[in-house]
Structure 1
Amino acid sequence: MVECSPTLQKIQYSTLKCVDEDSPCENTKRTVRTLSGATVSWHAALEQVPTGLPTIIIAHEFYDALPVHQFQKASRGWCEKMVDIAEDSSSFQFVLSTKPTSATLLYLIKRYKWASIEVLNKLNQIEVCPKAMELTHTIAQRISSDGGGALIIDYGHNGIVSDSLQAIRNHKFVHILDDPGSADLSAYVDFAAIRHSAEEASDNVTVHGPISQSQLLGFLGINFRADALLQKCDEAQAESLKTGYWRLVGDGEAPFWEGPDEQTPIGMGTRYQAMAIVNKKQGVPVPFQQ
């Protein structure tokens, strides 16, 4: 398990129903999952995971939670958006840096070189996620040396993201600076930056996608599976299946919904994207063979 939070490690330990047993090695313990007998270990970072074997990495709704830097074009050039205390000292507010910051010089310029002049000229704001670039670099190097692949599924764009940072509390959108620490923050994933980061890390990996979640699940047989399940469902189960299916592969509000408007299923099939990073020796993953 790769988890940097000791608190979440304890939750995972409990959820996996782990116990500590004496190890064959003298004076050491090992953690074992009681349901399967598999040995479980924790690492704070991917770099700490032992190497030498093919690695399968699945990042599902992971990249969107990584921190981003926001930059805004002003009369004096590109400025970083920063947080300051409001004039009444009772809240926070966004301000622009008065001069180029280290993030501007390091991250914005790096992302800048991957975009065309035409695209950049149309933008007034840019979001950059340095941690996503760094992590992708590490993942690509691991896949290059050990084999295997990574599947990334998240909502985002295949290009520069301008201003997507959002805060959600109790399933509702709130202002980013409203009661900091009480809401979940997320931002759209820049899949183009992930591609460039992986390709820069190694010549031994290939990047496929992004394709929509709807396309990915379609190639994996979700339509056939849904049809088969519908043949064995009662009316309530069929309604639940249709709703879940629409959320995964649909686009926008479900046209068949007859319940309360506030509960209308929203399809995420086109909003969510899928990308694969694989060792060149592995060939092209099936869903991406188009």
Structure 2
Amino acid sequence: MASFLSRLSLRASLSRCRVPYGGASRASSRIWFSSDVKESSDPETKDEESTLKIDRSGLSQLQDHAPKISGRESMSAMSKHLDAIIRFRGGPIPVAEYMEEVLTNPTAGFYMNRDVFGAGGDFVTSPDISQMFGELIGVWSTCLWHQMGRPKEVALVELGPGRGTLMADLIRGTSKFQDFTSAISIHLVECSPTLRKIQEATLECVSCDDCPEKKRSTLSGSLVSWYMDLLEVPRGVPTIIIAHEFFDALPVHQFQKTPRGWCEKLIDVGESPSEPFRYVLSPRPTPASKLYLGKRLQWASEEEKACLEHVEVCPESFRYAGSISRRVSEDGGAALIIDYGDDKIITDSLQAIRKHKFTSVLDDPGSADLSAHVDFGAIRHAATEAAADGVTVYGPITQSKFLGMLGINFRLEALLNNASEEQAEALQLGYWRLVGEGPAPWVEGEEDESTQTGMGTQYKALAIVNSSLGVPIGFQ
């Protein structure tokens, strides 16, 4: 573990806290540009149907978009794709569209065709660090099921399940609670074909005898299904939703305050093959700045707005929070969101990581993970607006406090009783990285201090709960 940098630990060693994403699912809606903003009466699809136009007249940095550029032949497939989009449009694209293409483009997207997790990939996540993380999420889920009245059917949904490690540890950790495991069906929201295959292997899935197209996990006997979006997951039964490091990689729009008002940060083609892309500002406020930024600022206090110069807004987080809230309100259940971020407006946090090291967001797009800090305040407001009387939002609280309330200290003690010296060292370090803050005080002489840095306060936990259930465990 000490031989490579983790996504969790890199944040502590840099002044701009940057910790990359650990899930791979993404929303697939794109923002195409047209002359107006369309609206739908259906709250589930309203955001998906919005189309925006960016006024590119007056871009002082805008260059002539000739069809060919010297050196373009040496560009990567993703760089050529982005270059073609910008030239076809006749001008720059929003950061959100750039981010979405880089991560989930079907042919060249970062998550779509390879395993990016672990020591051999680009980062590690909490489930990779210690089995205790997934086990305690299982404790939370089982206790919630009891609060729900132990229903005979429960949809256990994970957004962005990565390799499936969290879900596998959850299932193993709850295996003694047979009533719970027999009640759950597993629903994974994942857009990457490669990661779906890895998840299938991690959960030890086999084809069902009565229907070979259906999969069943031999770890629990539960049916396992995959979807591109939460909206595709069947409704009608109580639902437990887990979103660990999912919201941090949803596309963000970036805005900057100027004498012309709040202008949008865009990405244009560069001036040379050595710098194929660059940032530019819109000449005036865009529809996105009025629609998305305006909505976010409505939720902020005057004191908070007074000192803002830069703002990041994630419209997809509004949509997912709303969908989760309506589902929980109408079908029963709750959602648990764990990610790095703050309970306030996020200013400028977009980051890229490649092979466990931070790099430029515009450098070789498609070869590095992109993520941004999560605006928990916006999630709370969006969830409450979507189902004001049907849900209650708890948190965010620190991951350290949340895992502590779930009994991570007792779980560590139990595991240490049967551990070898080497296993004990790994368990203690994993524990520290989940709940501690800063370098582990007992570790000396590490080649890279950041591999044993605790992230217990940087990560936050938030729950969206059906109002009839009361306070969930971990948030008392």
* TM-score over 0.5 for the pair: yes
- Assess if the C-alpha contact under 8 Å between 2:439 and 2:449 holds in 1: no
State the match for 1:283 in structure 2: 470
- Assess if the C-alpha contact under 8 Å between 1:22 and 1:30 holds in 2: no
Local SS of the residue matching 1:9: helix
- Assess if the C-alpha contact under 8 Å between 1:30 and 1:39 holds in 2: no
Relative contact order (alpha carbons < 8 A, sep ≥ 6): 1 or 2 greater?
2
- Assess if the C-alpha contact under 8 Å between 2:217 and 2:223 holds in 1: no
- Assess if the C-alpha contact under 8 Å between 1:68 and 1:127 holds in 2: yes
Aligned match for 1:209, one of 379, 395, 412: 395
**Does the alignment pair 1:246 with 2:432?**
yes
Matches within 5 A, 1:140-219: 140-202=325-387, 203-219=389-405
| Alpha-carbon spacing, 1:63–1:233, altered in 2? closer, same or farther (3 Å) | same
Which structure 1 segments of 5+ residues have no match? none
Encode CA deviations 1:118-175: one digit per residue, 9 max, x unaligned. 1111111000010011001000000000000000000000010001100000000001
Encode CA deviations 1:222-277: one digit per residue, 9 max, x unaligned. 11222333344443222222211110001111121113241441101000000000
Instruction: Report the Cα distance in structure 2 between the residues aligned to 1:99 and 1:8, rounded to whole angstroms.
Output: 41
Instruction: Report the Cα distance in structure 1 between the residues aligned to 2:422 and 2:343, rounded to whole angstroms.
Output: 38
Aligned match for 1:139, one of 319, 324, 331: 324
**Does the alignment pair 1:122 with 2:307?**
yes
Instruction: Report the Cα distance in structure 1 between the residues aligned to 2:301 and 2:217, rounded to whole angstroms.
Output: 54
| Alpha-carbon spacing, 1:19–1:260, altered in 2? closer, same or farther (3 Å) | closer
Which structure 2 segments of 5+ residues have no match? 1-187
State the match for 1:271 in structure 2: 458
Instruction: Report the Cα distance in structure 1 between the residues aligned to 2:193 and 2:209, rounded to whole angstroms.
Output: 22
Instruction: Report the Cα distance in structure 2 between the residues aligned to 1:158 and 1:200, rounded to whole angstroms.
Output: 17
Encode CA deviations 1:32-87: one digit per residue, 9 max, x unaligned. 32625433333222112211110000001111111111111112111111101222
State the match for 1:39 in structure 2: 223
Give the TM-score taking structure 2 as reference length. Answer: 0.57
Encode CA deviations 1:180-218: one digit per residue, 9 max, x unaligned. 111001110000000000000002100000000000011
Instruction: Report the Cα distance in structure 1 between the residues aligned to 2:192 and 2:262, rounded to whole angstroms.
Output: 35
Identity of aligned residues (%): 60
Instruction: Report the Cα distance in structure 2 between the residues aligned to 1:260 and 1:3, rounded to whole angstroms.
Output: 36
- Assess if the C-alpha contact under 8 Å between 1:150 and 1:277 holds in 2: yes
State the match for 2:131 in structure 1: none
Matches within 5 A, 1:64-75: 64-75=248-259
Higher-strand-fraction structure: 1
Give the TM-score taking structure 1 as reference length. Answer: 0.92
The one-letter amino acid of 1:103's match is A
The one-letter amino acid of 1:268's match is M
Local SS of the residue matching 1:285: coil
**Does the alignment pair 1:60 with 2:60?**
no
